[in-house]
């Protein structure tokens, strides 16, 4: 199960990229959980302004990430892009830390920091290239392991910041720490990454920018995108409703929410390593379908929860299936374009954007008509629809081939 760590450690460029991925995940983990608290609670932003900020920053992030992913395949040298994007991260996060005000927060979060978000796609695309000489199973296992490193960053950084800054009443310091993580990535990109990586990074047969966008809009690709988004949106829907069920329906405490969330995130890491190992034996489609249906079953069980301890008991199966849905889809998209990791990795922000939209719609409809427990059944419906769509397009493509 831990062989992927040995392969990462044995490849200097891949090891550097894994450290950069941890730093990038830590920058996100330091700020995203405290975004609303800082914007509304500390800076005094209105609820409406914050909602607009989230929308604008989401659109900016997905547009920039997809564009840079495609351009990285065309230009080949991702190191220069990583230098520029991490430098913008230093500036954006640093501006909020040194000049905490609503105008600075709005400008940095909606226009500057989204460029740093693109480093996620660039780093995973670079890592994929470093495993180009491995068989598909080993490469996918390493990729899933790197995704587990991101989860580890999300477990460690928010918890440490909460302990360090919680008593101060302000989380602005989190943006200062995020700026330091960006600086670490910048230094690694400048002095540790090889100019062109360990292997050729440019696909001379890669289509132009608009041709690549046309590929993304092809019917089969759209079905794949919406199917995977429907499946992964169940994770977001669950994280939205189970705290509400626990605290408002079952009489649980706020402390229970934090404990269950931390326990689930921590448990996901070993399960990610397990799924990464299984990639060497099972197909990606089989793992995604199994995890999607398993998580749909968890959502159904969640709707029947009648006591706080039921939520605690369900945390283990939730973590087991969620781990696969967090780690494996990236491999699926990258395998669709084996010679163009930038385009394949560009599906990651698209999936996140679509998943958030489906989650918002499901929660709005479900909470109004079905209540919180009834909304959990919509998670099952989303998972089943995603599985049906995914299997249908894969069977059609296989039949044509």
Report which of 56, 53, 26, 25 is spatially closest to residue 40, judged by C-alpha positions: 53
Residues 6+ apart with CB under 8 A from 240: 359, 363
Residue count of the chain? 401
pTM for this structure?
A: 0.84
Structure token digits, residue 121: 């796609």
Determine contact, residues 137/129, Cβ cutoff 8 Å: no
- Counting DSSP H helices and E strands in the chain, the numbers are 18, 0
SS (H, E, C) 118-155: HHHHHHHHHHHHHCCCCCHHHHHHHHHHHHHHHHHHHH
Region for 44 from its dihedrals, namely left if φ exceeds 0, alpha if ψ lies in -120 to 50, beta otherwise: left
Q: What does each C-alpha distance from 202 to 11, 59, 71, 206 come to in angstroms?
A: 20, 28, 10, 8
* Domain architecture of the chain: domains with CATH: 1-198 (1.20.1250.20), 210-400 (1.20.1250.20)
- What's the pLDDT at 352? 86
Residues 6+ apart with CB under 8 A from 236: 355, 356, 359
Determine contact, residues 275/209, Cβ cutoff 8 Å: no
Determine contact, residues 148/15, Cβ cutoff 8 Å: no
Backbone angles phi, psi at 376, to 5 degrees: -60, -30
SS (H, E, C) the chain: CCHHHHHHHCCHHHHHHHHHHHHHHHHHHHHHHHHHHHHHHHCCCCHHHHHHHHHHHHHHHHHHHHHHHHHHHHHCCHHHHHHHHHHHHHHHHHHHHHCCCHHHHHHHHHHHHHHHHHHHHHHHHHHHHHCCCCCHHHHHHHHHHHHHHHHHHHHHHHHHHHHHHHHHCCCCHHHHHHHHHHHHHHHHHHHCCCCCCCCCCCCCCCCCHHHHHHHHCCHHHHHHHHHHHHHHHHHHHHHHHHHHHHHHHCCCCHHHHHHHHHHHHHHHHHHHHHHHHHCCCCCHHHHHHHHHHHHHHHHHHHHCCCCHHHHHHHHHHHHHHHHHHHHCHHHHHHHHCCCCHHHHHCHHHHHHHHHHHHHHHHHHHHHHHCHHHHHHHHHHHHHHHHHHHHHHHHHHHHHHC
Report which of 216, 194, 198 is spatially closest to residue 207, judged by C-alpha positions: 216
Q: Torsion angle of alpha carbons 327, 328, 330, 331, nearest 10°?
A: 130
- What's the pLDDT at 23? 96
Question: Mean pLDDT of residues grouped by 10 in the chain (401 residues)?
Answer: 77 93 92 82 84 86 88 81 95 96 94 92 88 79 86 83 73 92 96 67 62 83 93 91 87 79 86 87 92 96 92 93 91 82 81 88 88 91 96 89 71
Distance in angstroms (rounded) separating the CA atoms of residues 91 and 70? 25
Distance in angstroms (rounded) separating the CA atoms of residues 172 and 43? 10
- What's the pLDDT at 198? 47
């Amino acid at each position: 199960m831990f062989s992927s760590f040995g392969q990462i450690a044995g490849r200097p460029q891949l090891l550097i990229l894994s450290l950069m991925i941890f730093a990038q995940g830590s920058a996100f983990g330091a700020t995203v959980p405290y975004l609303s608290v800082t914007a509304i609670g500390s800076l005094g932003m209105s609820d409406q302004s914050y909602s607009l900020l989230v929308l604008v920053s989401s659109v900016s992030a997905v547009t920039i990430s997809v564009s840079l992913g495609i351009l990285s395949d065309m230009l080949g040298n991702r190191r220069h892009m990583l230098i520029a994007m991490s430098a913008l991260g230093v500036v954006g996060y640093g501006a909020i830390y040194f000049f905490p005000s609503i105008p600075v927060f709005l400008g940095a979060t909606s226009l500057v920091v989204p460029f740093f978000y693109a480093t996620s796609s660039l780093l995973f695309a670079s890592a994929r290239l470093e495993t180009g000489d491995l068989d598909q199973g080993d490469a996918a296992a390493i990729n899933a392991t790197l995704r587990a490193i991101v989860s580890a960053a999300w477990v460690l950084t928010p918890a440490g910041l909460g302990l360090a800054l919680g008593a101060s009443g302000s989380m602005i310091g989190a943006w200062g720490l995020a700026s330091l993580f960006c600086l670490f990535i910048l230094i690694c990109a400048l002095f540790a990454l090889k100019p062109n990586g360990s292997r050729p990074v440019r696909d001379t047969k890669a289509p132009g920018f608009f041709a690549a966008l046309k590929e993304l809009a092809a019917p089969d690709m759209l079905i794949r995108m919406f199917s995977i988004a429907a499946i992964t949106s169940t994770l977001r829907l669950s994280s939205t409703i189970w705290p509400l069920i626990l605290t408002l329906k079952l009489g649980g405490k706020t402390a229970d929410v934090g404990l269950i969330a931390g326990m689930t995130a921590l448990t996901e890491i070993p399960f990610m390593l397990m799924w990464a190992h299984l990639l060497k034996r099972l197909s990606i489609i089989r793992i995604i379908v199994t995890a999607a249906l398993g998580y749909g079953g968890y959502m159904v069980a969640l709707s029947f929860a009648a006591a706080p301890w039921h939520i605690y008991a369900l945390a283990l199966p939730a973590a087991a299936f969620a781990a696969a849905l967090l780690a494996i889809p990236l491999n699926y998209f990258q395998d669709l374009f084996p010679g163009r990791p930038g385009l394949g990795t560009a599906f990651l922000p698209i999936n996140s954007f679509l998943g958030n939209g489906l989650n918002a719609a499901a929660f709005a409809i479900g909470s109004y008509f079905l209540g919180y427990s009834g909304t959990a059944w919509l998670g099952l419906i989303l998972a089943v629809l995603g599985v049906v769509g995914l299997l249908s397009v894969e069977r059609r493509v296989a039949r044509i081939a």
